[in-house]
Homo-oligomer: A and B are copies of this chain.
């Protein structure tokens, strides 16, 4: 993408309304625009990051055996009356009437709707296990939306729902999502620690939040330091092997870890002081096992191998992709701006033409730009007539992992400079060597 044809509305000033660094940097880097209370447009740069985040989420959901569907945002109140949650859910639910005065609502979550889909089609244990997920907009009418996309009213959510014949099956489904979440966050450069959590309005008896540590975290968390070194399973992990998956979950749930609300002072005091880690945390995922909470009132049952009907045992599994973007920035930035992990960077490389109009610079940049495109690399080419200092600042602010800097003196000598955003490390290289290297990646 040529920057001259792109829409990247960088803000020079720090926006006053932004209280936390991710909100500030997303506004400054031209990633988002606020459209109302807790409601944001993803501008082109933000949309690119969102796409990469969603792609990783999808790949790991698919790998764990979940199937993608897409449910509508607007739901009938009738469904929620069946489960009993229509009255339980307070003002956070956005209630709507259509032209025929029927009661609708903007879904804050989809347990009821997916249970309705399940009961309509699935009649036998032979069709289980089943896990259906979607990535769809949700609306929760928060009293105090804030921190940008970290706590919005309209936000994107990946929510998965598992259906099994009994507790044992449901627990295996829960474990698969647990491990999928570990992999998902790791691939985004995040260290997420699973912690026992309250189940809140979703309900149920077993729940984990995945928390990343960041100074601006919304809650205090407590865990053993050993979490920082625990291994995350690679992509060869066998989701068909319940015992293997349960073993990983055991490793990740045995050491002490708790959010403020679940904290046990006695257990904490028993941990040697130099093995304790107390910090602020940001919730990036939340998983629930709630058994028959929805299947029973809504009549979602299947015939078992015993010939009898069984209410299915369910769980649900949420990740907020829009919130994740903010969490990644909270965990990875410096004074100059965002530092994207390669896996979610809006562009992998930015070519900085220090002197657009200079024949050598233009020629070198055009060759590099064509080579990266041919190699299938997401490349941004700053071909604008801004001065070099401004270009460097923009590249750092928007956090592109790799910068290729082309100046007139270097270009004339057949050389360009490479800079790593994360470390600031720079090296000079021959243009031809770089072109050859890009070619091998194609």
Q: Are B72 and A40 in contact (CB under 8 A)?
A: yes
Residues of the B chain whose Cβ atoms lie less than 8 Å from the Cβ of A137: 72-73, 137
Name A73's contact: one of B43, B67, B154 (CB within 8 Å). Answer: B154
Which residue of chain B is the closest to A155 with respect to CB atoms?
Answer: B72
- B154 A41 Cβ-Cβ under 8 A: no
Q: Are A76 and B117 in contact (CB under 8 A)?
A: no
Q: For the complex formed, measure the closest distance between the CB of A202 and the CB atoms of chain B, giving whole angstroms.
A: 20
CB distance from A252 to the nearest CB of B (A): 26
Report whether B7 and A67 are in contact in the complex, using a CB–CB cutoff of 8 Å.
Answer: yes
Contacts A41-B117, A99-B143, A117-B41 known; A154 to B67 CB distance under 8 Å? no
Task: Report how far A69 CA is from B49 CA in the complex, Å.
Answer: 11
Query: Does A440 sit at the interface, judged by CB under 8 A?
Result: no
Across-interface contacts of A44 in B (CB, < 8 A) = 67-69, 132
A284 CB to closest chain B CB (Å) equals 20
Contacts of A35 in B (CB 8 A): 71-72, 75-76, 113, 116
Given A70-B42, A117-B33, A139-B74, check contact A65 B98 (CB 8 Å).
no
A5 at the interface (CB under 8 A from B): yes
Does A106 belong to the interface (CB within 8 Å)? yes
Given known A106-B74, A132-B7, A154-B73, contact A98–B141 (CB-CB < 8 A): yes
- Chain B residue nearest to A136 in the complex (CB): B137
Chain B residues, Cβ within 8 Å of A46: 70
CA distance A187 to B50 in the complex (A): 27
Given A70-B42, A72-B154, does the pair A33, B98 have CB atoms closer than 8 Å? no
**Whole-angstrom CA separation of A141 from B97 in the bound complex:** 11
Contact with B along A99-119 (1 / 0, CB 8 A): 100001010000001001100
Query: A132 — nearest CB in chain B belongs to which residue?
Result: B7
A41 contacts B106, C-beta separation under 8 Å = no
Residue of B nearest to A142 (CB): B99
Instruction: Please name the 8 residue pairs, one residue from A and one from B, whose CB atoms are nearest each other, closest first.
Output: A9-B121, A42-B70, A91-B99, A41-B71, A39-B72, A44-B67, A72-B154, A99-B141
